[in-house]
Amino acid sequence: MKYEVEEKGLNLVELLDYANIPEINAYFADALKTRQKKSDGFNEAIENYREAKKHFMNVLYVDRPDKTEPTPLYFFQLTKYGKDDWRYYDIYPAPVDISPFEVLPKELMVYMGNTAAHPSEIVREDRVWSPKLGKYLELCYVHYSTTFILGTVRDSNYRPKSAPKRKKKKVKVLSEAERLKINPELGYAILFNCWSMYPTLMDGFIQDFMLDVLAERNQAKLDMKEASNV
Amino acid sequence: MSEGKKELPLDIFELTELMHVPEVCFELSMRMKLVKTDLQDKVETYHGRHREIFQELYINCGGGDNVYPRLYWFELAYFKQNDWGLRTMFPWPTPVFEPYRMLLPESVMIFMADASVDADKVVEMKMEYPMPHYRRLNFRFVRYSASLILGTLQDDFSQLTDMVANLDKTDAESFKKDPTLAMRLWRYLMYTKPELTESLLERFVDKFLPTVKAMEAERSLKAPAVSVTGG
């Protein structure tokens, strides 16, 4: 059973927008309630969904003994919002210090979304190339429906043997300051965390910083004044 | 039109979840077609009123001008019981030194959601956030419906004028006299000179983090502690 939802024009963004209109929200709720009363398999479908989801979560992630070895295994759930628009519904464990898109880039979400897999059939691919990340990933996923994918991702063990040997690039190890320079969001996240945990210390640090900035500003003003006098 | 605060019959989380059930998705897609034809007037009323409120609270109040204090437009949506989330914020993204959660913490969202206000009327509210991230904000919002709050927020202008006028005289003593000054001035400087971010973070990494790490190391010798730096 595979409904072509998109052809019928259901777009999640649009649906969520409409659901904010009280009358229409009530209309959807009534429609679903009425449908549930009909006992024509509608409720069973919802129950089946919950059961199946639990089953796939167990098979794909919970019962797997290799969650951390050789590389961390992430469990993801993706929802389809529109054509080639797949978004995270959830990712577990939450990636630390990296964006979820460095774990599973959008291009691979679209790739999985467009894979002609039978619903409820687990697809295992141990070498999916991600141009964005520049590495192979190991994917294991299932299309529960045309709008929902559950799966796991981790770095692949695969190393192409026949690939021409490339000159090893010298990797520059970034200092912490350089790392934060290219990722100021992370820098501020650490800074705010420090501010919450050590407010007095941080206040002192910030005050010193601002006094220096103000002193520089005053000096610049003085210099300008002197220059204009000359 | 609007019905004030009451429990929603269908929450957004439930709706998103049910979308994954093919039968429900099919049903909703059929209903969606009917909504677009039979309930078109209600949809238009919603969009029209939404535009009016945006015009009244944001555009007419100087929204869009890149000045400090910046005026932010926000929309809060009901997701499920006691769970309100940010649906839209404008300008977006917020500056890197000001994550949106600092502007609009969850507790403030819940406060607005729980406030007993007349639907469709503009509510004005002042909020003072505690130290260390002190700030005083002016809110203007409309409880559009049980599931939607539309409004704006802006730093209180009154706390800015004195500070700017006294910039030349600000010294270490000023910070002792007014504990809120440091936070207010820091925010002002970051808004007016965003290029300071680089030197701030550099100094933070070079001077502050080593002190904290040393403190944490010392503390972890006595008892296991949670690291703030992740190191």
pLDDT digits (tens, 9 = 90+) for A108-129: 999 999 887 777 789 999 889 9
Spatial separation of the C-alpha atoms in residues B25 and A46, rounded to whole Å = 11
What is the mean predicted confidence (pLDDT) over B21-45? Answer: 84
Tokens of A4: 């072509």
Least CB–CB distance from A209: residue in B22, B39, B203 = B203
| Distances B201 to A141, A199, B132 between C-alpha atoms, Å | 41, 17, 18
More confident residue, B42 or A47: A47
Spatial separation of the C-alpha atoms in residues B186 and B212, rounded to whole Å = 21
Q: Residue A168: what pLDDT?
A: 63
Q: B199 in a domain, yes or no?
A: yes
Q: Residue A5: what pLDDT?
A: 41
Q: Residue B225: what pLDDT?
A: 53
What is the mean predicted confidence (pLDDT) over B42-52? Answer: 86
**Which residue of chain A is at minimal alpha-carbon distance from B181?**
A207
Q: Residue A4: what pLDDT?
A: 42
Which residues in chain A have Cβ-Cβ distances shorter than 8 Å to B93?
Answer: none
**Which residue of chain A is at minimal alpha-carbon distance from B75?**
A20
Q: In what order do the strands lie in the sheet with A135-145?
A: A85-92, A74-82, A148-155, A135-145, A122-130
What is the mean predicted confidence (pLDDT) over B120-144? Answer: 90
Tokens of A85: 């628009």
Tokens of B55: 């015009």
Q: Residue B194: what pLDDT?
A: 84
Q: A46 in a domain, yes or no?
A: yes
Least CB–CB distance from A194: residue in B19, B171, B212 = B212
What is the mean predicted confidence (pLDDT) over B115-144? Answer: 89
B145 and B43 within one domain: yes
B43 and B140 within one domain: yes
Which residue from A135, A173, A181, A180 is spatially nearest to A154, judged by alpha carbons? A135
For chain B, say whether A9 makes contact (Cβ under 8 Å).
yes
Across the interface, do A9 and B196 touch by the CB < 8 Å criterion?
no
Least CB–CB distance from B198: residue in A31, A32, A181 = A181
A127 and A17 within one domain: yes
With cut-offs at 50, 70 and 90, classify the pLDDT of residue B5: very low
Q: A1 in a domain, yes or no?
A: no
Least CB–CB distance from A79: residue in B16, B29, B172 = B16
- How many CB pairs below 8 A link A and B? 208
For chain B, say whether A132 makes contact (Cβ under 8 Å).
no
Across the interface, do B172 and A207 touch by the CB < 8 Å criterion?
yes
Q: A85 in a domain, yes or no?
A: yes
Residue B2, pLDDT above cutoff 50: no
A201 and A131 within one domain: no
Assess whether the previous peptide bond of B91 is cis (omega < 30° from 0): yes
Report whether B75 contacts B87 (CB < 8 A). Answer: yes
B227 and B130 within one domain: no
A223 and A115 within one domain: no
The identity of residue B144, as a single letter, is Y
Which residue from A31, A143, A17 is spatially nearest to B26, judged by alpha carbons? A31
Q: B163 in a domain, yes or no?
A: no
Which residues in chain A have Cβ-Cβ distances shorter than 8 Å to B196?
Answer: 213
With cut-offs at 50, 70 and 90, classify the pLDDT of residue B35: confident
- For chain B, give the mean pLDDT: 84
Q: B174 in a domain, yes or no?
A: no
B contact residues 124-163, partner A, Cβ 8 Å cutoff: 131-133, 145-148
Q: Residue A163: what pLDDT?
A: 58
More confident residue, A130 or A166: A130
Q: Structural domain of residue B203, as residue ranges?
A: 195-231
Q: Residue A7: what pLDDT?
A: 44
Across the interface, do B39 and A5 touch by the CB < 8 Å criterion?
no
What is the mean predicted confidence (pLDDT) over A57-80? Answer: 89
pLDDT, one tens digit per residue, over B56-69 is: 999 999 887 778 88
Q: Structural domain of residue A208, as residue ranges?
A: 176-229
Residue B142, pLDDT above cutoff 90: yes
A180 and A137 within one domain: no
Q: Residue A137: what pLDDT?
A: 93
Residue B45, pLDDT above cutoff 50: yes
Residue B212, pLDDT above cutoff 90: no
Q: Residue B104: what pLDDT?
A: 92
Which residue from A112, A16, A38, A42 is spatially nearest to B22, judged by alpha carbons? A42
Number of domains in chain A: 2
Assess whether the previous peptide bond of A100 is cis (omega < 30° from 0): no
Spatial separation of the C-alpha atoms in residues A77 and A153, rounded to whole Å = 11
B141 and B200 within one domain: no
**Which residue of chain A is at minimal alpha-carbon distance from B188?**
A210
> Which residues are registered as beta bridge partners of B219?
none
A80 and A23 within one domain: yes
Residue B107, pLDDT above cutoff 60: yes
Which residues in chain A have Cβ-Cβ distances shorter than 8 Å to B12?
Answer: 16, 19
Q: Hey, is A67 helix, strand or coil?
A: coil
Report whether A181 contacts B201 (CB < 8 A). Answer: yes
Q: Residue A20: what pLDDT?
A: 75
Count the Cβ atoms, other than its own, within 10 Å of residue A199: 13
CB under 8 Å to B196, separation ≥6 — which residues? A213, B189, B190
Residue A138, pLDDT above cutoff 50: yes
- The CA distance from B79 to the nearest CA of chain A, in Å, is 10
B124 and B225 within one domain: no
Q: Where are the alpha helices (DSSP H) in B80-223?
A: 100-103, 106-114, 158-165, 172-177, 181-192, 196-203, 209-222
Report whether A147 contacts A4 (CB < 8 A). Answer: no
Question: Could you identify the residue written with the tokens 């192409």?
Answer: A160
Q: B169 in a domain, yes or no?
A: no
A197 and A85 within one domain: no
Question: Could you identify the residue written with the tokens 């072509």?
Answer: A4
User: What is the separation, in whole angstroms, between the first and last Cα of chain B?
Assistant: 54
ipTM exceeding the 0.85 mark = no
For chain B, say whether A184 makes contact (Cβ under 8 Å).
yes
Residue A28, pLDDT above cutoff 80: yes
A117 and A47 within one domain: yes
DSSP-derived secondary structure letter, A115 = S
Which residue from B162, B198, B195, B168 is spatially nearest to B180, judged by alpha carbons? B162
For chain A, say whether B225 makes contact (Cβ under 8 Å).
no
Tokens of B120: 């469709």
Q: Hey, is B108 helix, strand or coil?
A: helix
Q: A171 in a domain, yes or no?
A: no
Across the interface, do A188 and B99 touch by the CB < 8 Å criterion?
yes
Least CB–CB distance from B132: residue in A8, A97, A195 = A195
Least CB–CB distance from B23: residue in A42, A187, A193 = A42
A17 and A118 within one domain: yes
Spatial separation of the C-alpha atoms in residues B46 and A18, rounded to whole Å = 9
- For chain A, give the mean pLDDT: 82
Least CB–CB distance from A207: residue in B39, B97, B182 = B182
Q: Hey, is A159 helix, strand or coil?
A: coil
Q: Residue A3: what pLDDT?
A: 37
Q: Residue B74: what pLDDT?
A: 95
**Which residue of chain B is at minimal alpha-carbon distance from A181?**
B198
pLDDT, one tens digit per residue, over A153-208 is: 999 887 777 655 656 666 666 677 777 777 888 888 888 888 888 888 888 999 99
Spatial separation of the C-alpha atoms in residues B3 and B184, rounded to whole Å = 39
pTM of the model: 0.70
Which residues in chain A have Cβ-Cβ distances shorter than 8 Å to B189?
Answer: 210, 213
Q: Residue A77: what pLDDT?
A: 92
A204 and A95 within one domain: no
For chain A, say whether B77 makes contact (Cβ under 8 Å).
yes
Last residue of a domain, one of B136, B156, B176: B156
For chain A, say whether B221 makes contact (Cβ under 8 Å).
no
B148 and B98 within one domain: yes
Last residue of a domain, one of B131, B156, B181: B156
Spatial separation of the C-alpha atoms in residues B208 and B199, rounded to whole Å = 13
Number of domains in chain B: 2
With cut-offs at 50, 70 and 90, classify the pLDDT of residue A6: very low
Q: A217 in a domain, yes or no?
A: yes
Which residues in chain A have Cβ-Cβ distances shorter than 8 Å to B42?
Answer: 21, 23-24
